[in-house]
Every structure is written in structure tokens, then in C-alpha cells.
Amino acid sequence: MVTYLSRIPGDPIYANLSMDKGAISAYYQLLDPLDPTTIRPEDLVALHRQRTIDRMRGQDMVLCLIDETKINYNRLASCDGLDTIGRNQTSSEAQRMRLHASVPVTEKRFPLGVIRCGF
């Protein structure tokens, strides 16, 4: 896919006429949303998490930084399942989601990966 797409940067996928219909179909299947009943978010990051743990084991000392970031979605027209940040002067509510991440770092502050990330 990268080879095909690099020939037509910024153009639609079908602009590359040398690409066959099967390849175009495979490309769009790759971009389709995942079926949540077959693939869980933790499955997608399992290998990264394991590699992070392996890097941690190679260190004498690791500091695990924990961060909570509030992502503001107030500009989006409609989102379900978000928390309310608060109200402004006009009493309209600001919508947000909290992202919690745990990032292990070495003594010299070098990040080793992400050990946990959730909402």
C-alpha cells in the first residue's frame, strides 16, 4: 500500500491506474472500522506494552510517570459518553474526555514506552 500511495501523494487511491481492483478493495478493508466484538483495544497495544516491560527490565531504576489529560471536544457538534468540564459565562457545558497514561522513564528521563493508557 505504501508503494502505491507514495506514487500519488494527496490524490485519491483510485488515481493510480496501475493499482488493480483487488488492491483497492484490500486498501479500503484495511481502513474499515474494526469489529469491537473480535478485537479489543488492549489487543492492539499488547505487543507495545510487552516491549515496554522488556525495556523496563533492562534498567536499574525506572520512574513511572502518570498523567491525566483532559481532551476538550467542545467544538464538535455531537459526542456521546463524554464528561462535563464545567460551564462558561453563558451556562453552556464544555464536553471532555479524560485520558490516563502511565509512561515509564529512565533515570535520565528517556521514555521507554507506554505501560497503560485508558479513558
Q: Render pLDDT for 55-112 as a digit per residue (tens, 0 to 9).
A: 999 999 999 999 888 777 666 666 666 666 666 666 666 666 777 889 999 999 999 9
Query: Does 53 or 19 have the greater pLDDT score?
Result: 53
- pLDDT given for residue 36 in this prediction: 63
User: Do 5 and 12 touch, CB atoms closer than 8 A?
Assistant: no
- pLDDT given for residue 90 in this prediction: 67
> Coil, helix or strand for 101?
strand
Question: Nearest-5° angle of CA 91, CA 93, CA 95?
Answer: 165
Q: What is the mean pLDDT of the chain?
A: 77
What is the Cα–Cα distance from 8 to 26, expressed in whole angstroms?
17
> Coil, helix or strand for 52?
helix
- pLDDT given for residue 17 in this prediction: 54
User: Do 93 and 117 touch, CB atoms closer than 8 A?
Assistant: no
pTM (whole model) above 0.95: no
Residue 113, amino acid: G
